[in-house]
Every structure is written in structure tokens, then in C-alpha cells.
Structure 1
Amino acid sequence: MPEGDTVYRAAARLRTALAGKILTRSDFRVPRYATVDLRGQRVESVGSYGKHLFVRTPTASIHTHLKMEGLWRTYRCGQRWTQPRATARLVLGTEDVEAVGFSLGKVEVFPLADEHTVIDHLGPDLLGPNWDPAEAVRRLERYPEQTIGVALLDQRNLAGIGNIYRSEVCYLRKVHPATPVRAAGDLLALVNEAQRILSKAAHDRYVPLAYMRHNWGCRRCGTRIVRRVLGDTGPENDRITQRERGVWFCPRCQPEP
């Protein structure tokens, strides 16, 4: 599933393509919003919060979530789309650009004043201007017996981390993902580490040190990286389970609790 850095970059591309322009096309290819027509409205802003993306006009907020396979692409008007047309779920067009959301997991339209209802339950946005590490720590501490690997995925604690970065944060902090929150050490340092690597991934490039490196040598000690499914006893050959819930760690640098 795309993580906060991917959504942040997608919002930046859409902002460049659409912000300040008048919509000449709004094609919602989901039954609930098929009759919504935003043509003639100006795109005031485009932003993200965690894994959620918003395109805003003076009256409406278009909310999308990529879920598993969603992506946004922008094209010059008349340019051939590079994804199957049948997978397009939302098309926003101006005089010179088309922004197309393919295979989006969620498409919603709210009155602009109601946008907050989508994110009110979420923790601080790791890539937001008002990132609050103390609040993220407070939320993590509410459930001290929860494993840190599960807690980092819970968007109600801090918004933006997925499977890649929970493995990376635990690796960098030398914490086994199955460690209870209460025993995970310096939580403030941990959430700041999460913000640092997600920000690097969003603005520059981040090369994973543990994620998807099963059987490769640890970059610190050389021990083979191990992959486990946290809190799940599903079959080892269940590739979807392994990809979505698997965690990667060094058994030497991150001893099991």
C-alpha cells in the first residue's frame, strides 16, 4: 500500500498541474458521485494528510485514498493515458491538463467545511506543517501492551507510516517489531526517526535498510535479515499477507523481546 511519502508527492504533482486553474471537466466514475459536476470551479489547493489526498475548490473537497493499487497521473490534454482507461475512477481537467486517478481505493466529495471529518480521528501527520511528536508519543503510550510494529501502522497514533517505514523505523532504532510499546525505549526519538526518514523519502530518496531484504546481510552486523508476519499465523506462502503484514528485522541488532 502506498505510504505517506507517495501520497505527499502525488499531491505535489497535482498541485502543480491544477492549483489556481478552472476545472473544465470533472468526471467521477463512482456511482455515488456520478452526477457531481464541478466544472467552472477553481482549484484552490491540493494537499495531503497521512495517506489521504484532497483537491479543494471554493465549495468542495475531493477526498481520495490510494489503498492498495491506486495512483494519480497527469497528462497534457489530448495525450494518451498510460494506464487502462477502464481503471480510471476520477478525471479532473483544465484547459491544458488532465489529472486522472486510476484504481483509487476511495473517492469522496464533501462540502469543504466537512473535510475535517475525514482526518479528525488521525494522529499527527508526519509530513504536515504542524507535525507534533509529543502528541504522537502520547497516543502511542495509550496502549502500552500493543507491539510497536502494530502501533506504528495505526494511523490514529501517527499518520503516514505503512509497512515499509515501520520496518525501517524499528531497524534504525534497534527495536524488535514485536516489542511492547512500554518496552520500546525512547518513543520521542522513535517518532522523530519516523518523521526524518519519511521526510527524506518524500523530498529526496530513501533506500531501505531492512524492508524486503530477507536473507540479505544486515548493514550493521552482517546477520541475515529475517522476515516475519507480525500477529498473524497465516501460511508462509501467502504472498499478499507477507507483503502487507510482514516485517523485516535483524535478529541480532533487534533481539526478540
Structure 2
Amino acid sequence: MPEGDVLRRTAATLDAALAGRALVRAELRWPDAAGIDLTGRTVLGTRAYGKHLLTRFDDGRTLHTHLRMDGSWRTYRGRRAPGEADPFVRALLAGPEAVALGIRLGMLDVLRTVDEHTVIGHLGPDVLDDDFPVERLPEVLARWAQDPRPTAEVLLDQTVQAGFGTIWTAEALFARRLWPWTPARDVPDPATLVMTGRELMSRSIPRPRPSRVHGREGLPCERCGSPVACGTARKPPMERPVFYCPVCQTAR
């Protein structure tokens, strides 16, 4: 599933193609939104929050999309885009200079901008927001303080803090040499762990960075040379893989 850095890049790409421009074509190929016409509306911009995208318009409405596991937004220069008729295209937004296609989207709805809280209000603070370190981190730490769940599961829980997925969960834990199944309430310095993940994710926004541990099962750990292992966080059907070094990240 795309993580916070991917959503930030996607939002920036949509802004470069559409922000400040009136749509000359708009198609929402989604059962609950098929009758909604956004043609003529000016795109104010797209905001990423956690794993959600909020594209706002000048008439006080927001197009809310979620990529889930396989979704993406792709932009093309010009008035037409290849693959517009593809059945996996769920949204088409065309400005005078570029076209954006929402492909395999996992969620789509149009709502009043003032009602955005109805789709993201259940989420914790977005770790990539500018105000996170000073204003929102204390709120996150309060949730960590008494949580008995494994640390990897708490990092993945979007209601605690929004933005981390399997990649940056694994990378943050590896960077801090923490065993992924340490109870969250027993982590000696959760603030440093969360902020480490935030920093790693932030560095990946301009361009993706290679993983140090995620996806490297069986390959040698770059620190100690031991084979990287892969465990599981959360219960079915919400389980997620967690890659870690069984030597560098031992239980304490």
C-alpha cells in the first residue's frame, strides 16, 4: 500500500498538472459519483493526509480518493491521455494543459470541503505535516504510553499516527535497532522512533530511496551480515509483513 511519501509526491504531481486551472473535462467512473460533473470547476490544489488525497475545488467541494494497495494517479501533458478508456480508470480530470487519470482507486467520493473530517477525522496526526513535531507529536506519544500492542502494529495503526506503511515501519525500527514486537509502552524513546520514521519518509519525498531492510529477506544485513528475516504484524485479514534483522533488532 502506498505510504505517506508516495502520497506527497502524488499530490505534488496533481498540483503541477491541475492546480489553478479550470477543468475542461471530468469523469468520475464510480457508482456513487457517476452523476457528479466537475467540468468548469477550478482546482485549488490537492492535499495528502496519511494515505488519503483531498483534491479541492473552487465551489467548496472536495474529491476524496484513496489508493489502497494498487491505485495510482498518473498525469499526461496535453488534452488527451493514453488509456483513457481503460476499465481500471476510475477518475479523469483534464485541464487545458494536462490530464490526470485515477487508476485502480480503492476509494472515491465527492463531499463538501468543510466535511473532510468525515473521511479523515478518525485518523491520527499526519507525521509529515509541518506542525507535527511541536504540536501533534505529544498527542501521538500519549497514545503510545499505555499501548500493549507490538511496536510495529502501533506504527502501522493510522488512528495513532497517519502515514507509516510497511516500508517506513520496518526502516524506522531498523534504524533504531528495535525489535518489531516490543510492546509499544516499553519502547524507551518512542518520540525518537516516530521522528526517525518521519525523517526517513521526508527524505524519500523528492525521489524514492533504497530500503535498508524492507523487502530484503534472506539478504545480509548491512550492519552485521546476518540474513534479514520477515515476520508478521497484525492479525488476518489485516496482517502485514515486517522485515528486520534478528541480530541487530533483538528483544530487550
- Look up the match of 2:124: 123
Q: Kindly provide the amino acid, as one letter, of the partner of residue 177 in structure 1.
A: P
- The alignment status of 1:250 with 2:250, answered yes or no, reads no
> Does the C-alpha gap of structure 1 residues 33 and 231 become closer, same or farther in structure 2, counting only changes over 3 Å?
closer
CA contact under 8 A between 1:30 and 1:107: conserved in structure 2? yes
Q: Deviations over 1:62-107 (max 9, x none)?
A: 0000001000011123544268711100001112211110000000
- Look up the match of 1:221: 224
Equivalent residues in 2 for 1:169-180, closer than 5 Å: 169-180=172-183
TM-score (ref. length: structure 2)? 0.92
- Look up the match of 2:142: 138
- Look up the match of 1:68: 69
- Look up the match of 2:35: 35
Q: Kindly provide the amino acid, as one letter, of the partner of residue 38 in structure 2.
A: L
Secondary structure at the residue paired with 1:99? strand
> Does the C-alpha gap of structure 1 residues 20 and 33 become closer, same or farther in structure 2, counting only changes over 3 Å?
same
Q: Deviations over 1:132-171 (max 9, x none)?
A: 322221222242x111010000001111100111111111
TM-score (ref. length: structure 1)? 0.91
CA contact under 8 A between 1:123 and 1:139: conserved in structure 2? no
CA distance in 2: counterparts of 1:142 and 1:100, whole angstroms: 43
CA contact under 8 A between 1:217 and 1:225: conserved in structure 2? yes
CA distance in 2: counterparts of 1:230 and 1:28, whole angstroms: 35
Count of matched residue pairs: 248
- % identical equivalent positions: 36
- Look up the match of 1:183: 186
- Look up the match of 1:154: 157
CA contact under 8 A between 1:126 and 1:198: conserved in structure 2? no
- Shift, 1:21, TM fit: 0.3
Any stretches of 5+ residues in structure 2 without a counterpart? none
CA distance in 2: counterparts of 1:16 and 1:54, whole angstroms: 15
Any stretches of 5+ residues in structure 1 without a counterpart? 235-239
Secondary structure at the residue paired with 2:204? helix
Across the aligned residues of Structure 1 and Structure 2, the Cα RMSD in angstroms comes to 1.9
- Look up the match of 1:14: 14
